[in-house]
A and B are shown apart, each in its own frame.
Chain A
């Protein structure tokens, strides 16, 4: 199971293509098949198993359309 995952707000994405360039696992790609209402090709998570939830994509996203989750660390006793 993947350690993390991202949710991309397709309608907010402007298809600038920055998040795939920084993803260390190459898990993101631009969706060149479909368009959103703005007419852009939004980013999409193509390799769900590889995502570690590092949130680097969210750090570079100019449109703040990425939400990131990762496995909760077990509480320290």
Chain B
């Protein structure tokens, strides 16, 4: 007798059917899916507002089946602040890259965290400006070759990368600050768990939550998708250690 099959995985409802413009193997696709699965599981889709950044993920509002808009470069936390204060029963998410959050938008993210805004930030860190052709970002590793640092990042001239999660964890307004990676299946699952916790922190109204996701950029790193995930594991994870930098006591029961 044939045993009936049941669907165990399908496209989450919080993603639209639009084909993404991301390059083959881009980590944004994985990060998008994890956020969408988390929104589905927590049944938040109908009351979520997504603030898309400027960067590769600028069209995120086309890919998520939630309300959304795009902020000026780096200003997603400021826009999200206004939305959350006007619509406190909504879930307000910002989805930002490292060029957006750690460079031009560093003032907005720092003050949103310091004010303890009850929003959630998904911070995708791929150590490069992807959309504009792979220039050096604030998060580019020392010695890493980019189109604007063809001999590798020289720390005498360009300084050192910024570890955003460690900085944000110092601010009293932040409640849940963690860094995860998507370089293998196990870490992808951990990342999803962190996104679920961050959304629960916002739902409980505790304060600011952020999940930093180490991601890849196969095109601008000049690698295949598989090589780029290995590069994340071997080069980015040692510089940007994974872990929980801050889980405030009242958020521990949500983890």
A interface residue numbers (CB < 8 A to B): 1, 4-5, 11-12, 14-18, 21-22, 38, 40, 53, 55-56, 58-64, 66-72
Which one of B5, B6, B189, B226 contacts A59 once the chains associate, using CB atoms below 8 Å? B189
Give B contacts to A, CB under 8 Å: 2-12, 15, 19-20, 22-30, 32-33, 184-185, 188-189, 218, 224-226, 229
Chain A residues positioned under 8 Å from B10 (CB to CB): 67-68
Find out whether the CB atom of B9 lies under 8 angstroms from the CB atom of A72.
Answer: no
Query: Contacts A55-B8, A62-B27: A72 and B3 contacting too (C-beta < 8 A)?
Result: yes
Alpha-carbon separation in the docked complex, A60 to B24 (Å): 12
Q: What is the chain A residue whose CB lies nearest that of B26?
A: A62
Dominant SS among interface residues on chain B: mixed
A42→B22 CA distance, assembly (Å) = 16
Which residues of A sit under 8 angstroms from B27, Cβ to Cβ?
62
Could you name 29 residue pairs across A and B whose Cβ atoms are closer than 8 Å? Answer: A1-B3, A15-B24, A17-B25, A17-B226, A18-B226, A22-B185, A38-B19, A53-B5, A53-B8, A55-B8, A55-B9, A58-B9, A60-B30, A61-B29, A61-B33, A62-B26, A62-B27, A63-B20, A64-B29, A66-B9, A67-B7, A67-B11, A68-B9, A69-B5, A69-B7, A70-B6, A71-B6, A72-B3, A72-B6
In the complex, residue of chain B having the shortest beta-carbon distance to the beta carbon of A60: B185
Q: Residue of B at shortest CB range from A24?
A: B185
The 6 closest A-B CB pairs, nearest first, are A62-B29, A16-B25, A16-B24, A14-B24, A68-B9, A16-B225
Cβ contacts under 8 Å, A62 to chain B: 22, 24-30, 33, 225
Residues of B within 8 A of A53 (CB): 5, 8
Interchain CA distance A63-B18 in the complex, whole Å? 10
